[in-house]
Structures are given as C-alpha cells and as structure tokens.
Structure 1
Amino acid sequence: MAQRAIREYDGKAIFSKHWEKYFSGFHYGFKSVLVTNGDELRACAQKHGFEWLKQEALVAKPDMLFGKRGKNDLVLFKTAKPGDVTLEDAAKWIDEKIAHEVTLLSGQKGTLTHFIVEPFTPHSQDQEYYISATTVGEDDVLYLSAEGGMEVEEGWEEKVNEVTIPITMDDASIEHLIRANVPSGIPAENKERFIAFAEQFYKFYRDQNFAYLEINPIVMIGNDMHILDLVARLDDTAGFMMGDAWCGAEFPTAFGMEDQSPEE
C-alpha cells in the first residue's frame, strides 16, 4: 500500500461527495474554499454559492500537509462577537503569511502557499469528539475518543479506545465491536448517535480506499456534523479504479520539502 497525503480541502470534498450514501441520518454542510492569496479569496466571494464568505464569521489556516497549526499560531479565528474574522481580515492575514518564510515548532521551514477558509462553528468543548482509522498489518484499526482537539495526544492511552477490525469481518460484527468499545465519556444522549457515525465512518474509510483518515475534532450538534480538522492519506494503488470518487484530489509535496521531478 502506497500512502499519499492529500489536502484537508480535498478530504472534506470527498466526504461531501459521498455523504448521502454513507452517513444516513446526519447532515454535513460543506462550505470550504482553497486559495493561494487574498485576492483569490476575495474573487471566490463574488461567485454564486460562495456568498457565505461575506456573511459569516470565518476561520483560515494553511492547508499544506502539516499538523499542529493551532500550536504553531497558524489558525485565524475569533470565538465570539464582536470582532469575528471577516472576509477582508482573512484575505489580509493570508497575504501576510505568504510574504515570508515560516518556521514550525518541529523545525521545518518553508513558504505557505495554500490556505483553507471556512465558516467558524460556535460550539462547546463537550461537543468535540475524535475519530480516526488506519490499516495495521492485516487489520484495520478504528480510534475513538469522547475528547477531541489539540490535547487529545496528551494521555492518549487513557483517552482513546482502539478497535481492531479484521478486514474480513461482516457488518453486524463490526457494529457489535464498535458498540462494545464506545468511549465511556460520551453523554448517554449522544451514545447511539456516535456509534452510528463511527460505523458509517469506518465503511466510508474502507470503501474509499483511505490509508489513514482522522477527524480531530468532529463537532456533533444534534445530527449536524462539523468536520473542523481533517488529515487524510489515500492508498494511491487504488487510484486507477477510484476515478471521480476522489474528486480530483492531488498529492502535493509536503511543507518544507522540495518538489519532486516528474521522474521521481
């Protein structure tokens, strides 16, 4: 399996394309743009269907295959009015970020070239959850937590339940296994909803030939699901049969690395 990372924007676009097929009973309002500078963002706001860029509070962040953007102070948002991030705020911030080299806490250095801009989602900490899936040897592994956000890695073993799923397991057994491993911290009123979403998430991961898929956090407000942050890698050996299913997702060079030649 050749794992190749895709942008957060492309991962969310794949979710949106297949949402109705996989996530029955849940709603995902995909609103997102990928831009390279402030003028491009302003131009997007003039297009039909993108009026929300001028009407809603926004969040902007780089979309360049590196994590911990919050800890690197590379997320532009404000949690409450007055002073919500406007279209012009986001455009100016993006232009400031592309004007100079950035050094991450990891030591990686490079120039920011791509940004994802979305509506801000008001919510409380207890509405954040964590879910991811990957393949380990002959099995898939689903990771579930009642706690999402930047600090989920702290105390991972206590916070996150690991569910090992043999690739030959039938759907009924998968549902039973997920139910038996649902995190204890999930409120009773959300337990069935979370179980249903986790089962559907795993089927989506498997059918769409992801090699790794993480949402951290996913915000659950009733049946409305808000994918705030996403990391995804595709199994590119399946690319020949996925066609439009992957929404034209590209495999960009990771931040801080030199672009590969066509031969490479």
Structure 2
Amino acid sequence: MSAKAISEQTGKEFLYKYICTAAAVQNRFRYASVTAETDWDRLTQEHSWLLTERLVVKPDQLIKRRGKLGLVGIDLDLQGVREWLNGRLMRETTVGKAKGVLKNFLIEPFVPHTQEEEFYVCIYATREGDYVLFHHEGGVEVGDVDAKAQRLMVAVDEKLSEEQVREQLLTNVPDDKKEILASFIVGLFNLYEDLYFTYLEINPLVVTEDGVYVLDMAAKIDATADYICKAKWGDVEFPPPFGREAYPEEAYIA
C-alpha cells in the first residue's frame, strides 16, 4: 500500500460523486478553485453562486489546522474573498516547520450553523482493519480526538451497519440526529472502502435541518489501487507536502 494525500477538492469530488446514503448531502460540487492565474470573470460565469452567497476561502495545499492558523476567510462576499486572497496569494508563509508559497485556494459557500451542529468523523486503515472515530463535538477546538472520540474497529472483510454506529459511536448525539448521522457514516465507510481510501477525516461535519454539510476534509488514498479505481478516480493529482515543489522524479513516476 502507498498512502498518498489528495487535495480537499479531490476528496470532496469523490464523496459528492459516489457516496450512497439516505442523508441529504448539501452543497454538492459547490466549490471553486483559485490560483494567481484565475480569470475571475470566467470563474463567476462558471460558478454564478459566487456572486450571490456568503463565502469561505482557504488554501488547499495539505495544510493542517488552517482555522487555528488564521488561514480561513469566513462569511465574506466575493469582493471580500478577493481582498483576503490579495494578502496571501503567492506569499511565502511559514506553517509549523515548513515554509512555502500559498498558491492554491478553495472557495465554498458559507454555511451558518451553531457549535451544537458540528461533529467529527474519521476513518483510517490499520493492519487489523479500519477504525471509525466519532466525536459529538467538532470544529477547530476539537482538541485531542484520539483521547476523546468514540471508536469502532471494522475488521477486514467485515461490514459496518447503522445499528453498530448508533450503539457504539452516537451515544452522546441528540436522538433527532442519530438516524441521519448513522446513515451518513455507513455511506462514508462504504465510499472509503470502494475508492480505496486509507484515511478520511471530516471536521467539522455539520448537520442541520437541511441535511449534512461536509465543511473541511483531509484524505489519503492507496495509490497502488489505480488499476482498480481508475474509472472512478480519473487522473488524480497528488500534491506535494506544503513547503516544497514536486520533484522531477515524482513527475516521471506518475
């Protein structure tokens, strides 16, 4: 197995295309990618919602804890997004121990919600099987989820059921949200298996009266499964870690 990180945009595209769940997944395919070369007139023609909705903007370069680092612009109009980007686009930035240039950004609709509507879910692979982690509190202040989260291990060749999810993961969730969360988590796990993810984290996952919103996502896939998943993956780009450009050898291998 070769676990390689994918961009948030790629991960969400996979989810929106292929997840099968009774939960109403909102904001499907409502994102726009921005670089220094973006033609804004064309962008707004292709994504007319940019002109009418409040927006969120963030770098899409495998950077963790973007919210805590002040790298997320929230509840902005399009002009506010452009002003926010002007202060960051193509500027060298230090994140942790890495220094690199911010050059790829993602714009999405802003989703008004309360803290009580934020949840955390993560699925990751181990030798014994796949662990599903869930915490009834999500967002930038989630803290140490390894210590806090409810945990369920799905052994190799076993399936995850909604009953297991409700009984073992959703004990601290209000009753009116258990059904929709159980359906979404089972659908997410099946997607994770079908598309050969090795890591899939959503934080926060927002559940409102309208349905489920996937706000932030981090994901890795098993690159050696390309021959199995090519029809669904398409041509996947594996971005280098923040702080360096792709090596020529990586391009040759790809």
1:164 aligned to which of 125, 143, 153: 153
1:251 CA drift (Å): 0.3
1:89 is matched by which residue type in structure 2? G
Shift of 1:54: 0.5
Please list the CA deviations of residues 48-102 of structure 1 after superposition, one character each: whole Å capped at 9, or x if unmatched: xx11000000100000011111111111113xxxxxx111221232232124211
1:160-208 superposed Cα distances (whole Å, 9 cap, x missing partner): 011111022145xx44432321233211111122122211111111111
Give TM-score scaled by structure 1 length: 0.88
CA RMSD of the aligned region, Å?
1.8
Name the % identity: 31
Tell me which residue corresponds to 2:186. 199
Check the 8 A contact 1:38/1:91 in 2, yes or no: no
Within 1, Cα distance between the matches of 2:137 and 2:49? Answer: 29
| Amino acid corresponding to residue 122 of structure 1 in structure 2 | P
* C-alpha deviation, 1:108, in angstroms: 1.4
Please show how residues 16-165 of structure 1 align to structure 2 within 5 Å: 16-19=16-19, 22-30=20-28, 31-37=30-36, 39-47=38-46, 50-78=47-75, 85-104=76-95, 106-154=96-144, 156-157=146-147, 159-165=148-154
Q: 1:39: how far off? A: 4.2
Extract unaligned runs of 5+ from structure 1. Answer: 79-84
| Conserved? CA contact 1:58–1:77, under 8 Å | yes
Of residues 5-14 and 28-37 in structure 1, the stretch that sits farther from structure 2 once superposed is: 28-37
Contact between 1:41 and 1:91, CA under 8 Å: does it hold in 2? no
- Does the 8 Å contact 2:23/2:181 carry over to 1? no
Tell me how far apart the structure 1 counterparts of residues 37 and 54 of structure 2 sit (CA, whole Å).
16
1:97 is paired with a residue whose SS is coil
Unaligned 5+ runs, structure 2 = none
Which residue does the alignment assign to 2:218?
231
**CA offsets, 1:1-37, max 9 Å, x none?**
1001111011111111113xx1234233221011113
